[in-house]
Amino acid sequence: MADKNAMKNKSAMRNKSKVKNKDIAKNKAAGKKKYAVDKTMKQEAEKRTAGKMGKKKYAVDKTVKQEAEKRTIGKMEKKYAVTKAFTEKTDHGKSVKEKKVSGKNTSEKMITKKQNADMCQYAKKCGGCDYQGLSYEKQLKEKQEYVRKNVGEFCKVLPIIGMEHPYHYRNKVHAVVGLDKQKGIVTGTYAEGTHRLVPVDVCMIEDQKADSIIATLRELFASFKYVPYNEDTHRGFMRHILIRRGFSTKEMMVVLVTADNKFPSKNNFIKALLEQHPDITTVVQNINDYSTSMVLGKANKVLYGKGYIEDVLCGCRFRISPESFYQINPSQTEKLYKTAIRLGGITKNDVVIDAYCGIGTIGIALSSHAKKVIGVELNPQAVKDAQTNADLNHIKNIQFVNEDAGDFLVRYAEGGRADVVIMDPPRSGSTPEFLQSLLQIKPKRIVYISCNPETQVRDVRVLQKGGYKVEKCEGYDMFPHTFHIENVVLMTLK
C-alpha cells in the first residue's frame, strides 16, 4: 500500500513537472514573440524617425541648394541681366506682362550707391532700365563683355557702337492708363514682373514730345470723365496710350486704346487735344475688348488724319501703322542696316532673301544693290505694309511672301537660289527647319542680325557645323540704359 502511494506521488510529481515545463516553454515562446514584436515596432519607429530626419535633411539641403541657385542667378542678372524682356520685334502681339523682365528686383541690384546725377527718379520702381546708375561708358563695357562671352569663341568681337546722346531715343511710347489711391487718373508702366502700375510723368529714354502729349491726355481724360479700364472688374473705357513719331519727318501718331468702340464726345476731345498739340498728324482709336493683358485689339478707327505716319530710313520712306514693327531707335537702326548691307557684300548679280522682314525696311534699303530681293514675313499686316513701302519707293525688284520663314525656305530650297541671306529673327532665334534649308541652299554669305546673342550663338553653331565660317561680329547699342543689344554676325561658306 505504501508502495502504491509512493508510485502515485512520483507520477503526480512527474505530471506536475511536465505541466511546469510546458508552462515554461509556453512563456519562453511568448517572450520570444513579444521580443520579436517589440523589435519590429522599434525598427519601424526607427525607420519613421530616420524618414522624418531624412526628409528634413533633404528639405534643408534642397533649400540650401535653391538659395545658392538664387544667389548665382542674382549675380548673373546683376552682371548681364539676361532674362525675358521687352520684345521689340513682336511687342504689338505680346502681353504687357511679357514686356517686362521676369527676374526680380534686377533694376535695384543694378543701382549703385554712386548714382549718376541724371539718375531716373522711377528707376527702382519701374525696372525698365536695368543699367540705371551706371555710366554710359560702363554700360557699353558690360554689353561688350556679354557679347564677347557668347560670340567670342568664333571671332574677334569689335567694339560696340554706342550713341552720342543716349537719351529720349524711343520713337514709340506706350503708357498704361489707371487710377491712383486718390482715384486720380495716372499713366505709366507696370512694375517689373508685375501688373502694378507705376505712375510715370517723364521718361529719360522716351521721346519728350510724346511725354508732353501723354500729360495733356491725362488732363483731358479727367475733364471728359473717361474712366480708366480695370482689368479685375473688366469695367472702364480708356486702357492704353500709344504714341509713334517719325524722327525724320516729325509726323506724330496718337493711338487711344479703348475697351468699347463708342467714343463719347470724340470730336470735342480731338479738338481740345489738337489745340494744345497741333503737330499731331493723326489720331487712331484702337478697340480692345478682350479680357487679357494684350495692348492692341484688332480693330482701328481713324479719328483724325490719315491713320498712319511716315518716316525716312537709309534714304527710303516707310509707312507706319499702329501695329507695324519699326525699330524704336532710328539713328542707331540706320547705322545697323548700313553695316548689314556692307557685310553682305551685295552685287547687282545677287539674289537676296530678307528673312523675318517685317515691313520690309532692310530689304527695301538694300534693293538698289541687288538683282532681286525676296522678303518673307509671317504677319499679314506687316506684309501689306511692306508692299506699300516698296510702291512708295518705286522699287520693282522686290517681292514679299506672307509665310513662316522656315516653311518658305524649306519649299524654296527645292530649286531656288540665294546668294545672300539676311536674317533678323525674334529673340527666340531661328528654327531647325529654317537652318537646315539654309544649309541646303548654301548662300555665299549669311548676315545674322539678332537682339539675343544667346540664341544667335545656338543657331551659328548649327551653321558652322554645316560648312560656314564666322568672319565678323559687330554690336550696336539700340537700347541704352537697358541690357538689350543688337548684334550682327557675318558668316561665309567655306
Residue 123 banded pLDDT, cuts 50, 70, 90: low
Q: What is the pairing mode between strands 351-355 and 420-423?
A: parallel
Query: Does 171 have pLDDT greater than 90?
Result: yes
Torsion of CA 338, 343, 345, 346, to 10 degrees: -50
Say how far apart CA 76 and CA 143 lie, in whole Å: 13
Query: Does 270 have pLDDT greater than 90?
Result: yes
The sign of the CA dihedral 462, 468, 470, 474 is: negative
User: What does the pLDDT average to over 265-276?
Assistant: 97
For residue 113 the three cell numbers come to 550707391
Among 7-21, 211-225, 330-344, 475-489, whose mean pLDDT is lowest? Answer: 7-21
Q: State the pLDDT at residue 94.
A: 37
Of residues 126 and 396, the one with the higher pLDDT is 396
Active site residues per annotation: 451
Read off the pLDDT of residues 22-56 as tens digits, 9 standing for 90 and up.
554 555 444 544 445 455 555 555 555 444 444 44
Of residues 435 and 59, the one with the higher pLDDT is 435
| Amino acid making up residue 440 | Q
The sign of the CA dihedral 450, 124, 96, 168 is: negative
Q: What percent of the chain lies above the pLDDT cut of 90?
A: 58
Q: State the pLDDT at residue 359.
A: 93
Query: Does 336 have pLDDT greater than 50?
Result: yes
- Please report which helix (H) or strand (E) contains residue 493, including its range: strand 486-493
Distances (CA, A) of 394 to 115, 316, 363, 365: 50, 10, 13, 12
Instruction: For 137-173, give one letter per residue: b (16+ CB within 10 A) or e.
Output: eebbebbbebbbebbeebeebeebbbbeebebbbbbb
Strands (E) located in 147-264 = 172-179, 185-190, 197-199, 238-245, 252-258
Helix (H, G, I), strand (E, B) or coil at 474: strand
User: What does the pLDDT average to over 234-261?
Assistant: 95
**Count of H-run helices and E-run strands, the chain:** 12, 16
Mean model confidence pLDDT for the chain:
80
Query: Does 276 have pLDDT greater than 70?
Result: yes
User: What does the pLDDT average to over 243-271?
Assistant: 95
Read off the pLDDT of residues 7-27 as tens digits, 9 standing for 90 and up.
444 454 555 454 445 554 555
Q: What is the pairing mode between strands 486-493 and 372-377?
A: unpaired
Longest dimension (CA), the chain: 148
Q: What is the pairing mode between strands 172-179 and 238-245?
A: antiparallel
4: phi then psi, degrees, rounded to nearest 5 = -65, -45
Q: State the pLDDT at residue 273.
A: 98
Distances (CA, A) of 152 to 144, 158, 282, 470, 493: 10, 10, 46, 10, 19
User: Quick one: residue 94, left, alpha or beta (phi over 0 = left, psi -120 to 50 = alpha)?
Assistant: beta
DSSP string, 322-381: TT----S-HHHHHHHHHHHHHHHT--TT-EEEEET-TTTHHHHHHGGGSSEEEEEES-HH
User: What does the pLDDT average to over 267-277?
Assistant: 97
Q: State the pLDDT at residue 199.
A: 81
Say how far apart CA 111 and CA 131 lie, in whole Å: 7
Strands (E) located in 42-95 = none
Read off the pLDDT of residues 286-299 as tens digits, 9 standing for 90 and up.
999 887 778 998 89
Say how far apart CA 109 and CA 84 lie, in whole Å: 17
406, 430 contact by CB (below 8 A):
yes
Helix (H, G, I), strand (E, B) or coil at 189: strand
Query: Does 468 have pLDDT greater than 50?
Result: yes
Q: What percent of the chain lies above the pLDDT cut of 70?
A: 75
Query: Does 484 have pLDDT greater than 70?
Result: yes
User: What does the pLDDT average to over 82-107?
Assistant: 35
Say how far apart CA 329 and CA 479 lie, in whole Å: 7
Query: Does 452 have pLDDT greater than 60?
Result: yes
Q: What is the pairing mode between strands 309-313 and 197-199?
A: unpaired
Q: State the pLDDT at residue 333.
A: 94
Query: Does 480 have pLDDT greater than 80?
Result: yes
Closest CA to 445 of 345, 335, 336, 337: 345
Q: State the pLDDT at residue 494.
A: 86
Among 20-24, 117-121, 141-145, whose mean pLDDT is lowest? Answer: 20-24
Q: State the pLDDT at residue 134.
A: 86
For residue 368 the three cell numbers come to 538698289
Of residues 252 and 94, the one with the higher pLDDT is 252
User: What does the pLDDT average to over 111-127?
Assistant: 58
Burial class (CB in 10 A: 0-12, 13-18, 19+), 221: buried
| Amino acid making up residue 111 | I
Among 29-38, 291-300, 343-352, 362-371, whose mean pLDDT is lowest? Answer: 29-38
Q: State the pLDDT at residue 41.
A: 54
The sign of the CA dihedral 322, 328, 331, 332 is: negative
